Structure formats: structure tokens, C-alpha cells
Structure 1
């Protein structure tokens, strides 16, 4: 019983906006679809995989992370119910009512707007466009020097001098860090601090590292509030730009939004528009933060 109630709830939510869907779907073209493409029938008319695809696009937010087989079942149930009720509405001459015609005109305009903008934006924002925008922005990033450092933290200066002597004697920095460092976080990685820029590391370590060449370590202990450090500079570089693949979706989204605004602005510029109500700026949406 609970599962039937749950399913009925899904169908109720999916039928919100069903008028749009009934405009878009033919539910059984004159040329009968291949059986493999048919997902249901109502009074002998086919509901096809294409119909199902449109419904899935429209209801994707309501469906959330539902498993694919459950999603397919729920959508087919919703389409069947939509077809049954739509047929009953036609039989009752609802299609001749002014209310239907007004909603039909609105949803037709809404669908035309959506498809028009989608097609124009897709033509303007290509993979090459996204790559060019990335390259342009990456070129503007000012160089930031980063150093990859390792350190060994000792409790006393004499311990630090002992470690420096061991390094001069041929022991590896990684091994000594793992054995001797008091920094419990970095010692497991051989004292590795990763790439750090100015101001991202203890000032005394940063100042000491600035005097080193890659592969060199400090010849005297570096004192700080934490103890005594032995510091190794592994590599120096200018910070690379974020990887293209990591930020391409955000770049594409921004370009698409900008192009959509440009298209709408251009169309408004040549249209004769009369807004017969006052312009009122809506209140800002509440984001949960105090400003």
C-alpha cells in the first residue's frame, strides 16, 4: 500500500506542467514506430522512446537520483496517465475553450523561446570557443612563484645540526624526515610540504627557502616558534593555470549565459516594446548569510 501511495505521489508531481508535454508529444505517429521504440500504448496509439526522452528532460529535477529502471517505469506511467486524461479532455471539448487556447499559446511561445535560444547558443559556444576563452584568461594570470619544500622539525638546535650532518653524510632527506621529524603531519610523506607561495608557509622557512637552489638544503638550523627546521628546496616554478578540463564546464556555462543575454538584448533592441506597469526591482534572494 505504501509503495502505491509513493508511486501515485510521483505521478502527481510529474503531471505538473503536463500541458507543455502534451503539446510536444504526438503519442503515436501515422507511421507506426518500431516495436523496440515503443514503451507503451493507450487505445492502440504508441508512446515511443522519443516521447520518453522528452519527458525525462522535462522532469529531470523531480526525478533526482532515482535508479534508471525506476525512472523509466515512473515516466511511462506518467505518460500513460497523461494520454488518458488528455483524450478525455478532447472528448469533453476542452480544446475549444479559451482557457486552453491561452495556455497553449503561452506554452508554445515558451517552447519556441527555449529551442531558439538553445540552438543559437549552441552554435555560438563551441568547444573551440571555450578553449579560446580559457587560453585568453590563462594568459592574464600574473606569475606566482611557488616552491616545493620538505622540512624536518627538531626540538633542539643540536638535533637539527645532527640531521644536517647526516644529510651531508649521504642519508636521504625523506628517510630522515620519516625517522626524526616532530611534524606528525608531514613526516609520513618524508617532510613534504607541497608547492607553497609566499606567505603560505612559516616566515622563517620561506625566508630560508628563498636562499636555496633546487636540490639544496639549509646548512644551518632554521629557528621558528615551532622549533628548529632543516629545509630542502625540491623545485621552483611559476604556478600553473588551473587545468582546462577542471574549469571548462564553468567557462562554458558563463559563455552560454552571456550569449543568451546578448541575443535577448539584441532582439529587444529592434523590437517595439511597451511595458505598461512600473519598473520595480525585486528584493534580493535570501542566501542565509548576513551582509
Structure 2
């Protein structure tokens, strides 16, 4: 990162850091007293806890930067922040109405964030995420899948020769490796994996539907690609996605729903007056709220 870009990034960080400068003393005070010190400005410590807050707030701006470079840049930004904040205090900025208005806004914002985070965290537990997964998995309609192997031949004569070899006891997988024109599956013995109707050419679907596990087609199956010999290895109902792969999305959905519920409940008990007309935002544009 060039010096010019680095300074521009740090300047951009400082523009929106009023909330950070206000929250650092509040948050750090409640954390462990032995937190590591990463910098000092005029004898006042900048701690690893302060750094962690900054990293959380600005992770999207930092992108995929290496960890040591990210740490260095954030500490530089925190030092600059502390220096400018001290200068602002010396200039009596905290006595200005503009400061007090922003302070009140950021205090409300921080209170909202921490309150919802705590209440949502209490409601959405690992057990509730698992329960939601089990409920949704039970609703998934069964989809029959077949594990198939095939051998693709260029002529019907070649396909008939393969069928004769299979009837003579030759291994399907070996014949696929030796003779199949399907260069993707032949290296795996013709294995197509588990497929549902519509995932392979229609002619193979039709032929496989007539087979029992362990059976292969007794006549060549013609398609636009050539002639196929098809083996049905086994059938199953498609399993639900693994819990581990979908749990983060389930948790995020439950948390968003719970947050909306909490806000709606609080609104119902409050006297609210909106003194501007309700206007829906254009489709596809953000409305400034977290959904």
C-alpha cells in the first residue's frame, strides 16, 4: 500500500470514527485489565481490546489484507484518532452543540446495537438453530436419486460388444475405463454419482427407471451423444443438506427474525409519531435499515 493510499484510508477512517472514539472507553473499561497494549499517545494506552473493536468495525474496508499489515494500519489509525480526539477536547469541541447532538445519536446507536445483540443472543441458541434445521429438513419432499454408471460408445455394435462382455462377467468400471468415450466419467469407471430425473440425458433417465439395483441395460441406449450402456448401482431419497453447511444461514435468518420481533414488540408499547409521509424506496435500493 503506497503512502498516499495509506494516508487516504486513514483519513477516511477518521471521518467516521466519532462512534469509535466514544465507545472505546466504555467498552475497554469492562474488559480484562491485563489486555495487551499496542500503542500509546501522550502516555495513554491503546489496548488490544481497542484494536479488536476497530478491526470488527472496519473489516470490510480492510478486505483480504495480511494480518500483520492490517494490525499495523489499524494501530496507526487508532493513534491518529487519539491524537485528533485530544486536540478536539483541547479546543472545547465537547462543549459544542454539534458534538452533543452526534454524541446522543451515537449513544443511541450503540445502545441499540448492544441491546439487540444481547437479546437476540439469548433467544437464538445452538439448540434453536438445530431445531429449525430439523423442522425444515422434515419438510423437504423426498426426491429419488439413482447412482448410475454408464459407458458411452460411438456405435451400436460397440455397445452390444460391451453388453456381451458384461454378461460374461467383465467389470463395468474396467470396461468404462477402457472403452467409454465419455472422458469426464471414464476415469472414474463411468460413475455419474447420485442423480435425480432431469440431471442426465432423458434417454438414460428412462432406461435407468426400468432397472433394479445391480442391473445394467440389456440393449444399447441411443442418445444424441451415441450409445450408452447404463448400470444402476443403488437408489436413495436425496438427503437434506448437512447441518454444518447451512447452520450459519439458519442462524442469520433466525437472528434477523428475532430482531424484527423485538423491535415490533417495543414499537407496540411506545407512542410513535412519524411526521413525514410514508414513501416506499425504489425497488432494488436499500432503505437504510438492517433486514
Q: How many residues matched? A: 283
CA distance in 2, matches of 1:285, 1:250: 22
Residue 289 of structure 2 corresponds to none
CA distance in 2, matches of 1:283, 1:191: 52
Residue 200 of structure 1 corresponds to 199
Structure 1 residues 6 and 226: CA distance shift in structure 2, 3 A: closer
Residue 102 of structure 1 corresponds to 101
Alignment of 1:1-291 (within 5 A): 3-26=2-25, 34=34, 37-285=36-284
CA distance in 2, matches of 1:256, 1:285: 23
Q: Secondary structure at the match of 2:199?
A: coil
Q: Which runs of 4+ in 1 moved over 6 A?
A: none
Q: Structure 1 unaligned runs (5+)?
A: none
Q: Secondary structure at the match of 1:26?
A: helix
Contact 1:14 1:62 in 2 (8 A): no
CA distance in 1, matches of 2:152, 2:37: 70
Contact 1:33 1:48 in 2 (8 A): no
Cα deviation digits, residues 153-195 of structure 1 (max 9, x gap): 2222222221111111121001111111222222222111211
CA distance in 2, matches of 1:115, 1:144: 44
Q: Secondary structure at the match of 1:15?
A: helix
Q: Secondary structure at the match of 1:153?
A: strand
Larger deviation: 139-148 or 60-69?
A: 60-69
CA distance in 2, matches of 1:183, 1:69: 49
Cα deviation digits, residues 196-221 of structure 1 (max 9, x gap): 11222222222221121111111222
Q: Secondary structure at the match of 1:148?
A: strand
CA distance in 1, matches of 2:134, 2:169: 45
- Compute the TM-score of the two structures, normalised by the length of structure 1: 0.92
Q: Structure 2 unaligned runs (5+)?
A: 287-291
- Compute the TM-score of the two structures, normalised by the length of structure 2: 0.92
Q: Give the superposition deviation at 1:41.
A: 1.1
Structure 1 residues 68 and 224: CA distance shift in structure 2, 3 A: closer
Contact 1:155 1:227 in 2 (8 A): yes
Larger deviation: 104-113 or 81-90?
A: 81-90
